[in-house]
Amino acid sequence: MTFKAIALAATAATAMASQTMAQESWTMTTTWPSSLELIETDRHFVELANKLTAGELTIEFFDGGSLVPSGEVFGAVESGTIQAGADWPGYWAGRDAAFSPLATTPSLFNAVDYVNWIQQWGGAELYNEIYGNFGMVYLPYGVTNNESGFRTKEPIVSLDDLQGKRLRLSGLEQGKLLERLGGNQVSMAGGEIYQSLERGVIDGAEFSTPNVDWSGGFQQVTEYWATPGWHQSASVFGVMINQASWDALSAETQEKLRIAADATLLWSLAFTEKRATEAYAKFDEVVEINRYDDETLAEVQKMANEVIVETACENPNSAKVYLSMVEYLNDYAQWRDASAPFNLGRTPNGPDAEALRACIE
């Protein structure tokens, strides 16, 4: 073969490879239906990712429930039926309890804590370690601050008011904490909450931030709101990616997806806080809002710490995640507290790091 022929063959091979990359396409869905505002973060990521990877990757996005039921998104990505799925990690705590703190914490992290921890204190690596056990890569790209709290037909002002209440509540540790406080956890999908409140199947419910709760219509079937949402002091959302699909991408395309995720993470915080502010004003006109006093929240914190250690000691992966979180809090505390009142949130009086470390060893 002549040099010219070799050059032409190499050029053709390069062109074919480029064409193949240009034709790469993914199917992605989410756990959220179009009626809930949480889906906006997923849409933002997909739009940005498609812009950044133009000519390399196209992600076709489907609303929650349109391809598979929400509870089957994990399995669909794990099996490779679809390449990507947006989620809230806590939905998979039945597979590994470590998914719970990767999604939220009871009375511990705020939204900035999650961002700090994910970006600079080793959190991102733990997401990929836990999801990696199921053949997936994970990109956290959404964060919200504390959830609204309970929406009920009777006022909840103190912990005594929780006694015997049947409350829709997500989360492993959250359920244990509620039961310790005298309430009863009822698990159900977000789409079932409205009718369950309307029919009196449950006494109250939590779901998300004020704007998401408003989009769910809960103001139409409740009269009282107990805040703050100590059960979920912040929440993280992101995209599960099938490992084989991820590996098929070039390093450059993978990096562009990471950039899209990081940008969406910051956008989501500002977006949801603005929308939550607007929704709070609307709720204030139609329901009675009651805030727990500081003494009550301190008591919740004490019980939350006990539940965190207890739950962590049942699962080494959960203990590993919580220990990393608490070590971050302890490391960050000196500077955060020194910069008060201009700091980024409180330093919680959280669980003991040594107690968590003992759960691993």
What confidence tens digit (pLDDT) does each residue in 17-36 have? 444 445 689 999 999 999 88
pTM for the predicted model, two decimal places: 0.91
**Is 227 within a domain?**
no
Asked if residue 13 has pLDDT above 70, the reply is: no
Stretch 84-94: mean pLDDT: 96
**Is 238 within a domain?**
yes
Instruction: Answer yes or no: is 207 a known binding residue.
Output: yes
**Is 74 within a domain?**
yes
Instruction: Answer yes or no: is 147 a known binding residue.
Output: yes
More confidently predicted of 224 and 1: 224
**Is 206 within a domain?**
no
pLDDT attached to residue 189: 82
Residues 6+ apart with CB under 8 A from 93: 99, 100, 103, 171, 172
Instruction: Answer yes or no: is 163 a known binding residue.
Output: no
**Is 319 within a domain?**
no
Instruction: Answer yes or no: is 346 a known binding residue.
Output: no
pLDDT attached to residue 19: 45
**Is 205 within a domain?**
no
SS3 202: coil
Phi and psi of 203, rounded to 5°?
Answer: -85, -20
Asked if residue 147 has pLDDT above 70, the reply is: yes
Q: What is the pLDDT of residues 184-242, one digit of tens each?
A: 999 888 888 999 999 999 999 998 899 999 999 999 999 999 999 999 999 999 999 99
Domain of residue 239, residue span:
15-145+234-275
**Is 165 within a domain?**
no
53, 79, 37: which is closest to 261 by C-alpha?
53
**Is 62 within a domain?**
yes
The alpha-helical segments, DSSP class H, found in the chain are: 3-22, 39-52, 73-79, 99-103, 111-120, 123-132, 172-180, 190-199, 210-215, 243-247, 251-286, 294-312, 316-338, 353-360
Instruction: Answer yes or no: is 43 a known binding residue.
Output: no
Residues 282, 313: Cα–Cα separation, whole Å: 42
Amino acid identity, position 276: A
Asked if residue 11 has pLDDT above 70, the reply is: no
Q: What pLDDT band is residue 6 in, cutting at 50, 70 and 90?
A: very low
Length of the chain: 361
Domain with residue 39: its CATH number is 3.40.190.170
- By the 10 Å C-beta count (0-12 exposed, 13-18 middle, 19+ buried), 117 is classed as buried
Stretch 122-145: mean pLDDT: 98
Q: What is the pLDDT of residues 274-297, one digit of tens each?
A: 999 999 999 999 999 999 999 999
Q: What pLDDT band is residue 12 in, cutting at 50, 70 and 90?
A: very low
Q: Please count the structural domains in the chain.
A: 1
